[in-house]
């Protein structure tokens, strides 16, 4: 009887643990789940194809638009001005009264200060600029802003992460909180920390944003992905960055 009771206690105790968030000390970057050859590819700038976008972004940073300043015209040397910027986004935007991600910030700057049409989502110049800006935060810890206005959005993101979706009825948390380290169709399940975006993904054979990756996951569970830069997507990005707070930025990361 006592044995049965203790077994029941164990089961009850085990259940919440299963659905718990990952402890800070157990957090691991997707980098740790890769093969040594993919890790080498990320470590060595000559091997890392993501560096091609960083270089392209560096050129765009200097490029002058007609009758408008270049990025460098206002922000100067990105090494100083953009250091840590990618580690702070998504951040709350006063004018839009909602959180925006780094790509949206770039596009806002472009339309407001450079009087240029916004870059298309996932377009090469937008990826190049975000890779270049992201690379300025390489090695710095992710530091989400302490902003009370972000709190409700962060909570929405957390709910999104835990809500079963799609025809397969899976939530993000079921794979990335409960079953990380396991395998899905032969591939390791990582913890889903957005430490290296935009990433060079070998499967894509190109550089892609966090939203592209999230859309992949959504179609994978047979859910209809949200539109680019939909508030839901930005809120999920916000939660993922909070979840990875303190982990180091690896942009441009390489992933399988």
Partner 1 sequence: MNLARLSFPKTAKKGEIIEIRTLISHVMETGYRPDATGKVVPRDIIRRFTCHYDGEEVFRADLWQAIAANPYLSFTTVATKSGELTFTWEGDNGFRHVESGTITVT
Q: Which residues bind partner 1 (CB under 8 A)?
A: 46-47, 49, 51-52, 55-56, 58-59, 202, 205-206
- Would you state the torsion angle of the CA atoms of residues 157, 161, 165, 168, taken in this order, to the nearest 10 degrees? 160
Say whether 248 sits in a helix, a strand or coil: strand
Would you tell me how many other CB atoms lie within 10 Å of the CB of residue 163? Answer: 12
Which of residues 56 and 250 has its CB atom nearest to partner 1 in the complex?
A: 56
Which of residues 55 and 108 has its CB atom nearest to partner 1 in the complex?
A: 55
Closest CB 204 distance from partner 1, rounded Å: 9
Which of residues 62 and 111 has its CB atom nearest to partner 1 in the complex?
A: 62
Closest CB 36 distance from partner 1, rounded Å: 17
Would you tell me how many other CB atoms lie within 10 Å of the CB of residue 2? Answer: 6
Closest CB 205 distance from partner 1, rounded Å: 4
Nearest to 228 by CA among 118, 72, 139: 118
> Residue 84 is encoded by which pair of tokens?
């840590």
Which of residues 56 and 177 has its CB atom nearest to partner 1 in the complex?
A: 56
Closest CB 255 distance from partner 1, rounded Å: 14
Confirm if 176 and 122 have CB atoms less than 8 A apart.
Answer: no
Q: Which helix (H) or strand (E) holds 207?
A: strand 206-208
């Amino acid at each position: 009887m006592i044995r049965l009771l203790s077994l029941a206690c164990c089961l009850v105790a085990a259940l919440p643990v299963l659905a718990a968030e990952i402890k800070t000390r157990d957090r691991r970057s997707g980098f740790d789940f890769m093969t040594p050859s993919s890790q080498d590819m990320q470590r060595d700038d000559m091997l890392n194809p993501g560096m091609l976008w960083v270089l392209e972004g560096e050129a765009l940073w200097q490029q002058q638009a007609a009758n408008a300043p270049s990025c460098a015209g206002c922000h100067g040397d990105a090494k100083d001005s953009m250091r840590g910027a990618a580690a702070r986004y998504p951040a709350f935007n006063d004018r839009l009264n909602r959180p925006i991600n780094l790509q949206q910030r770039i596009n806002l700057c472009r339309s407001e200060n450079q009087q240029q049409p916004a870059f298309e989502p996932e377009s090469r110049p937008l990826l190049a600029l975000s890779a270049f800006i992201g690379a300025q935060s390489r090695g710095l810890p992710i530091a989400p802003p302490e902003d009370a206005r972000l709190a409700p959005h962060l909570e929405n993101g957390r709910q999104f992460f835990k809500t079963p979706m799609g025809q397969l009825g899976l939530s993000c948390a079921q794979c990335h909180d409960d079953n990380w380290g396991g395998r899905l169709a032969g591939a390791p399940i990582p913890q889903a920390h957005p430490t290296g975006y935009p990433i060079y993904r070998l499967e894509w054979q190109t550089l892609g944003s966090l939203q592209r990756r999230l859309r992949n996951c959504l179609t994978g569970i047979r859910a209809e992905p949200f539109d680019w830069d939909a508030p839901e997507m930005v809120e999920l990005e916000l939660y993922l960055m909070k979840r990875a707070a303190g982990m180091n930025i690896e942009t441009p990361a390489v992933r399988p």
